[in-house]
Amino acid sequence: MENIINLLFEAKMLKNIPRSGYHFLGTGKESVAEHSFIITFIAYVMSKMVPEVDELRLISMCLLHDLPETRIGDLNYVQKKYVTANESKAIEDITRDIPFGTSMTELIDEFNRCESIEAKLARDADQISFILDLKALSDSGNRSSGKWISHILGRLKTETGKKITEVILRTEADSWWFKDF
């Protein structure tokens, strides 16, 4: 039980680790835990749109995909040009003494391979999360975010992800609440 509690404390650390890409935008911020929540929620929505997927597998993959960042941090694209993180070692160390560690490792590996429909949807949820933030930043005046959006669109793997993004880009970020007033 102690190893499981240590895992919970380690996962809690994601609340304190900032996502590093926002530094380049000049505005916006997000912790890795906040990111994990929103992509997991996006995956839940996607699982309802694509009912043939394994909903639990998809959601679990999203929940776990950035867990290694408790040990390696969140490296942005510039940092990755100069720093090589040993994610495999981090995953191995995190899961080594956990009774369900093999399951966790398999889900993270599946996400990284991006071969199954669940992994492709999870990867799209990861990108859609960022697109949502960029669209909201753009709507509030950040001119740089538009350049980023066009770059991220090329990363989408599924028709579902592309359809969701298409609607995001034509929807004002505050329309969800403003329509009632």
- pLDDT tens digits for 6-45? 999 999 999 999 998 887 777 778 999 999 999 999 999 9
Check residue 22 and give its pLDDT: 81
Higher pLDDT, 119 or 181: 119
The CATH number covering residue 20 comes to 1.10.3210.10
Structural domain boundaries enclosing 78: 2-178
Write the pLDDT tens digit of every residue in 105-122. Answer: 999 999 999 999 999 999
pLDDT in tens, 166-176: 999 999 999 99
pLDDT, one tens digit per residue, over 57-104 is: 999 999 999 999 999 999 988 898 999 999 999 999 999 999 999 999
Reported pTM:
0.94
Distance of CA 84 to the CA centre of its chain: 20
Name the domain count of the chain: 1
